[in-house]
Structure 1
Amino acid sequence: MNTILKLSSSLLVLAAVCGAMSSAQAADLQAAPVYTKAPVVEAWNPWMIRVRALGVLPDAGGSTVNVTGVPALSSPNSGLSISNSVVPELDISYFFTKNIAAELILGVTRHSISGTGTLNGLNIGKSWLLPPTLTLQYHFTDFGAFKPYVGAGVNYTVFYNQNAANQVSNGLAVTNLHISNQWGAAVQFGFDYMLDRHWGLNVDVKKLWLQPNYSATVNGAIPVSGRANIDPWLVGAGVTYKF
Structure 2
Amino acid sequence: MKIPFAASILTIAVAAPAQAQVEAGDVLVRARAILVSPTEEAGPVTPTFPGGSVGVSDSVMPEIDFTYMLTDHIGAELILATTKHDIVGRGTLAGIDKLADTWALPPTLTLQYHFAPKGHVRPYVGAGINYTTFYSADASRSLETAIGKTEVNLEDSFGYALQAGVDIDIAPRVFLNFDVKYIDIDTTARLRTGAAINRVDVSLDPVVPSIGIGMRF
Alignment correspondent of 2:109: 134
Label 1:139 to 1:43 Cα distance change in 2 as closer, same or farther (>3 A): closer
Alignment correspondent of 1:65: 44
Query: TM-score scaled by structure 1?
Result: 0.74
Label 1:151 to 1:230 Cα distance change in 2 as closer, same or farther (>3 A): same
The one of 68, 77, 100 aligned to 1:103:
77
Alignment correspondent of 2:127: 152
Structure 1 portions without partners, runs of 5+ = 1-41
Alignment correspondent of 2:209: 235
Alignment correspondent of 2:10: none
**CA shift at 1:187, angstroms?**
0.2
C-alpha separation in 2, matches of 1:112 and 1:141: 40
Moved more, 142-151 or 202-211: 142-151
Alignment correspondent of 1:161: 136
Alignment correspondent of 2:30: 50
Structure 2 portions without partners, runs of 5+ = 1-20
Tell me, yes or no, if the aligned pair for 2:122 and 2:167 is still in contact at 8 Å.
Answer: yes
C-alpha separation in 1, matches of 2:71 and 2:169: 18
Amino acid aligned to 2:36 = V
Amino acid aligned to 1:188 = Q
Moved more, 147-156 or 170-179: 170-179
More strand by share: 2
Label 1:196 to 1:93 Cα distance change in 2 as closer, same or farther (>3 A): same
Amino acid aligned to 1:209 = D
C-alpha separation in 2, matches of 1:235 and 1:128: 19
List aligned pairs for 1:74-85, cutoff 5 A. Answer: 74=50, 77-85=51-59
Tell me, yes or no, if the aligned pair for 2:163 and 2:180 is still in contact at 8 Å.
Answer: yes
Label 1:177 to 1:129 Cα distance change in 2 as closer, same or farther (>3 A): same
Larger Rg: 1
Query: TM-score scaled by structure 2?
Result: 0.82
Label 1:237 to 1:43 Cα distance change in 2 as closer, same or farther (>3 A): closer
Other structure's SS at 1:121 match: helix
Label 1:43 to 1:226 Cα distance change in 2 as closer, same or farther (>3 A): closer
- Number of aligned pairs? 195
C-alpha separation in 2, matches of 1:239 and 1:43: 15
